[in-house]
Copies of this chain bind each other. A is one copy, B any other.
């Protein structure tokens, strides 16, 4: 059927009745500012996310028309308990506007009251459970399928299981469901969850965590790949949407309109997933550069001018993936994005044979510094309790440096020779203000071997629950990529230095291996890599 021939008159309950209401959201503030110094994806919480800005912009709420807490709480109560299907829109508008008018503290109080006062009915659950335990399990007799007696004895199970399923739904589910079908409601839920996540980052509150996990599951259903639309975003797109690309680009900030125009122009592509209920802003987008070879540094991608002729390109380089909604953290929106984009690019330009990324390594320095710090701590304790805990203490201790690296570090200066070991020197160098070591050719040459080697170890061997510890690595590996190459001084921005000592990594997608690699990573955690990068970790125990 020719979709264009049909006119969608109304997307039931989808379009915001008043678009200005959406702008009341705290995220609207964000559109006007770019925060280049923010660290993307530091937490690495879900381990599955492409970079996204952290959610602390929630404090920038509008306080022009603040409403009393009790009034907003009342409208929340109405939104949950009212039966009137038709006046519900007004009630929900009232509640969402009221929520936006609250201070951070009041929002927290409201969310806590939602989590605790609109929880499930435990007495009812207990009652049903007792009924359930009173039932006798029918003998499983696979030979007699469709046994009538068995069937009818199961009826009671079905009934109580169904009731139990409903009783286990917290009362706040009604609010989530209603908001989901309310114009602008899905976006509101995403903001609500961002607020929840930033509260939970400060303080672990079990009831709020339970609410969050429930909401996350719901959002995951509502934002299934089936509901997402893939768009190629071009300079012809509405300015209001492009403005959001600028605001949300979390990997390599866009400095001005010219920069944006280049990223959408010749030799470049930008694709994004939009959801019909959140019009005007992609939930996730990916930027692609068409090149002759796989780029080693982000500088050559961002600053090559003029770009090459498109028909000369043989490589499509994914150099930035940003998710735009902090409230959707942990929901894998990028699942099919890369594969679909590869299909589209290949269709348009069959001469492209390499699909690669130039990716940040957001968790590398965090991992390395904490590794160094804990080893230094262990060494200290070891010294203090040398006689008593000689063996047990030492068993945790590991010199993560090779002998020649250790030597080179201690030899850097007289000052360092006084230090306990090479790790202390390394820790001190890496934590000096303004990354002074990057300006000294000598320090650079001494630090490069251990930093590159340990980076390979971090990417290929450091795991969390059987998956790559680094969130971006995990994202590409589960999509079926392999680790191809790590690049020294590939991102000289402050953020690049801070995250990964300026190192970046190329992941490569080989069309013929994508399925197989995704599958083996999924089932056994196996990380495929090139021989080059494997050299760094040869002989080192995993």
Contacts and interface: CB of A to CB of B under 8 A. Distances in A.
Interface residues of A, number: 84
A231 B133 contact: no
Closest 10 CB pairs of A and B: A158-B210, A155-B206, A181-B226, A1-B280, A12-B225, A10-B230, A12-B228, A8-B229, A86-B515, A9-B230
Contact of A86 (B229, B240, B480): B480
A164 interface: yes
Interface in A105-142: 112-113, 116, 120, 122, 125-126, 129-130, 132-133, 137
Contacts of A210: 158, 161-162
Contacts of A336: 12-13
Given A238-B1, A279-B3, A207 B13 contact: no
Given A206-B155, A224-B181, A226-B180, A335 B85 contact: yes
A207 B154 contact: yes
A340 B12 contact: yes
Contacts of A519: 84, 86-87
26 contacts: A1-B240, A3-B279, A6-B237, A7-B232, A9-B230, A9-B232, A10-B344, A11-B228, A11-B230, A12-B273, A84-B519, A84-B522, A85-B522, A86-B515, A86-B519, A112-B146, A122-B157, A129-B129, A130-B133, A151-B205, A154-B206, A158-B206, A162-B213, A164-B168, A221-B221, A227-B227
A515 to B, nearest CB: 5
Contact of A12 (B87, B152, B230, B518): B230
Contact of A206 (B125, B129, B151): B151
A5 interface: yes
A83 interface: yes
A241 interface: yes
A236 B126 CA distance: 59
B279 A231 contact: no
Interface string A227-261: 11111100011101100000000000000000000
Nearest to A277: B226
A429 interface: no
A439 interface: no
A274 B9 CA distance: 11
A41 to B, nearest CB: 23
A9 B231 contact: yes
A85 B157 contact: no
Nearest to A15: B3
Nearest to A224: B181
A448 interface: no
- Give the number of times this chain occurs in the complex, counting copies: 2
A411 B59 CA distance: 85
Contact of A145 (B7, B112, B158, B280): B112
A207 B151 CA distance: 7
Given A158-B207, A207-B158, A340-B12, A225 B122 contact: no
A87 B515 contact: yes
A122 B151 contact: no
A523 interface: yes
Interface in A268-325: 271, 273-274, 277, 279-280
A534 interface: no
A331 interface: no
A21 to B, nearest CB: 15
A535 interface: no
B129 A226 contact: no
Contacts of A87: 515, 519
A1 B19 CA distance: 10
A14 interface: yes
Contacts of A340: 10, 12
Contacts of A206: 151-152, 154-155, 158
A245 to B, nearest CB: 13
Contacts of A137: 122, 126
Interface in A168-191: 168, 180-181
B161 A518 contact: no
Contacts of A126: 132-133, 137
A209 interface: yes
B86 A518 contact: yes
**Max chain B Cβ within 10 angstroms of own Cβ: one of A165, A221, A240, A518:** A165
User: Which of A13, A113, A130, A339 has the most C-beta atoms of chain B within 10 angstroms of its own C-beta?
Assistant: A13
